[in-house]
Structure 1
């Protein structure tokens, strides 16, 4: 093979050469153990070879398998489509048609115990990754505007969910996608339906429903690919698989686990009768609370109105008015008394001042003589020695003043000692 020249547009290989080279590489792989699910089986009586199609349950991949007819007949239990098997085979490339198949020499059915053990290992793996954690579960809307339903076509689960949900809330809207719910096509179809509904903006919650069944029938709902897709979905997922004892891994990953499809219909939509009764009850409570508040405030207003200050609002003002008048009269009398006292004191002081002042003396005939000094200032004349003959004098009497000139100055002769008083 290594001696073959390289290919080019001018030097292409014939088909037989390419087929031969692929066959050589396939034959080098050797014997392998393969696990899968039987999706098709053609074992006609009278033929020596049985033809099977083996599919990977977690991916859309399948291979053809051929085996001797006696190998199928000698199995402990009859081989059926949907069974999981482990085969020992050698890859074989059919040169004439250019197809690849597995030539089996051993077929072993996977028992229930082995299936349950694998599901348990997967459960522990998903739990360790936190996919079962309560914190990641999303709440289900109280009244979703649209509900996606993934279930089998014309199944009892579909009828239960639709009938019970519409009986509880007649205006609920469903978008139903029918898929296979068991067998080799179940997981791919459910994944496609889940992707479609998860992208739909009118779907607020998705229900995956199926009736009860055997462990083999419920295997698609413990598939790892489906569990991871449900965990990654942006829309809340409700699992309604089987009956109460049935617990596939989907129940742990979903945001809400319902024991039956009927239970799911009761938990995804409220009961219109219950909600109407609850609204009526809350309305009655509100009415009673409002009436109680109004009655309480009315009693409070009645109590306030019965108080003297509000029962006779002008009475206190009138009583205070008389007090104000009395105090004002007292103040007026006190002020008048104080003014009379002060006026008497002023008159007394004025009388004393008048008696002691020169005006009263001058009214009795006395006069005050003033002279002008050299600088022109007036001074009271107290002695004849202060002036000379011809001095200008000012004589002040009670009702005016008289100007005079001193013609002569006559000192007073002192009286004898015996004549002095």
Structure 2
């Protein structure tokens, strides 16, 4: 093991000097000691490293080093054989200026915007009345007080789940990420509020952290950003589904106002009642109009009038049929009289007779000429009351 550790140390010592950027999370510079220990953390990843430097370098820093400060360290990496740890021996520590911080934030802003994390179409709408509201803020902070007071004042029955985290410094981003993951996994939380009061650019730097912005964009629960005051605009404001100017504004927008909603319910109920009464009155007037019409005022009158018309038509039909029968009977009687007057029976009654003979085929034929018979031809003589038989004796022309 000693051989392996020595080889690792020899390899690390050959790396030479490097520049390292990070956030100060811990400073240990005891009085009377010549060496100070500073812990640097990468704000975009859970990686930290111990930096050793002369104590006078820490005490002479301008501005003074403090937890959460962004610095650039120049030094050589070293490997301690006894404990097998890696550290950085610094010979220069430079605080990162405001201009450099703003430039870095601007570069990150352009990167996230190019990836579509600021796009309006990906932002989700807030629920009208959330079952639960998650709040991520500092412990006993004014921001927590403003959100709770305003939300509970507007909707007293609102359920709030508050997770207190650091809101500035090196530990802010990891704690906020853990709280965001916890609230996002809670099925009773429908919206998450990340709130903090105003501060300097360095104080609000955690809310422009790339890891936090990506976590908010990937969250399944709508997120409200209420960081700082109106002029403050960290990157979290652009990624969140809703940006509120202050924590007080977030408390007002996360839940509806019970008084306003009650007034709306009363207004809608009054409008519904008036509308229903108006509809009933309209239908009642329509029924009165229909009822006043002759067909409904005297429903039997039209039937009776139709009945009279039917009786009249039936009587007219009966008379027409009888008249037609009378005419036909008269015509039939006249035809019968003419037939009787012109028929052979009437002629026979006047003293005439009809003489018939039998032809070669055995059929009776009326004798019309003497040439039709010969002597000895049997004849049948028909008179009015019967017929007699005779035989031709002589033909006279």
Shared fold by TM > 0.5? Answer: yes
- Structure-1 residue corresponding to 2:266: 280
Asked if 1:227 corresponds to 2:213, the answer is yes
Asked if 1:404 corresponds to 2:381, the answer is no
- CA deviations over 1:6-37 (Å, ceiling 9, x no partner): xxxxxxxxx22111101111112111111111
- Structure-2 residue corresponding to 1:121: 107
Q: Distance in 2 between matches of 1:188 and 1:359?
A: 143
**CA deviation after TM superposition for structure 1 residue 357, in Å:** 1.9
Q: Distance in 2 between matches of 1:170 and 1:74?
A: 53
* TM-score, normalization by structure 2: 0.94
Q: Verify the 8 A CA contact 1:392 1:403 in the aligned structure 2.
A: no
Q: Distance in 2 between matches of 1:175 and 1:225?
A: 23
Q: 2:250 aligns with which of 240, 244, 264?
A: 264
- Structure-2 residue corresponding to 1:71: 57
Q: 1:307 aligns with which of 289, 293, 316?
A: 293
Q: Verify the 8 A CA contact 1:384 1:409 in the aligned structure 2.
A: no
* Shift >6 Å, 4+ stretches: none
Q: Which ranges in structure 2 are unaligned for 5 or more consecutive residues?
A: none
- Structure-2 residue corresponding to 1:89: 75
1:170-189 aligned within 5 A: 170-189=156-175
- Structure-2 residue corresponding to 1:169: 155
1:273-352 aligned within 5 A: 273-352=259-338
**CA deviation after TM superposition for structure 1 residue 177, in Å:** 2.2
Q: Distance in 1 between matches of 2:63 and 2:200?
A: 16
- CA deviations over 1:119-149 (Å, ceiling 9, x no partner): 1121121112211111110111111122222
Q: 2:142 aligns with which of 156, 159, 172?
A: 156
- Report the secondary structure of 1:118's partner residue: helix
Q: Which ranges in structure 1 are unaligned for 5 or more consecutive residues?
A: 1-14, 414-421
Segment drifting more, 64-73 vs 347-356:
347-356
Q: Distance in 2 between matches of 1:382 and 1:68?
A: 176
- Structure-2 residue corresponding to 1:37: 23
Q: Distance in 2 between matches of 1:279 and 1:396?
A: 119
Q: Distance in 2 between matches of 1:310 and 1:398?
A: 78
- Structure-1 residue corresponding to 2:354: 368
Segment drifting more, 271-280 vs 248-257:
271-280
- Structure-2 residue corresponding to 1:56: 42
Segment drifting more, 188-197 vs 331-340:
331-340
Q: Distance in 2 between matches of 1:347 and 1:152?
A: 129
Q: Distance in 1 between matches of 2:309 and 2:122?
A: 80
- Going from structure 1 to structure 2, the CA distance change for 1:127 and 1:384 (only over 3 Å counts) comes to same
- Structure-2 residue corresponding to 1:9: none
- Going from structure 1 to structure 2, the CA distance change for 1:282 and 1:398 (only over 3 Å counts) comes to farther
1:106-117 aligned within 5 A: 106-117=92-103
- Report the secondary structure of 1:163's partner residue: helix
Q: Distance in 1 between matches of 2:315 and 2:201?
A: 111
* TM-score, normalization by structure 1: 0.89
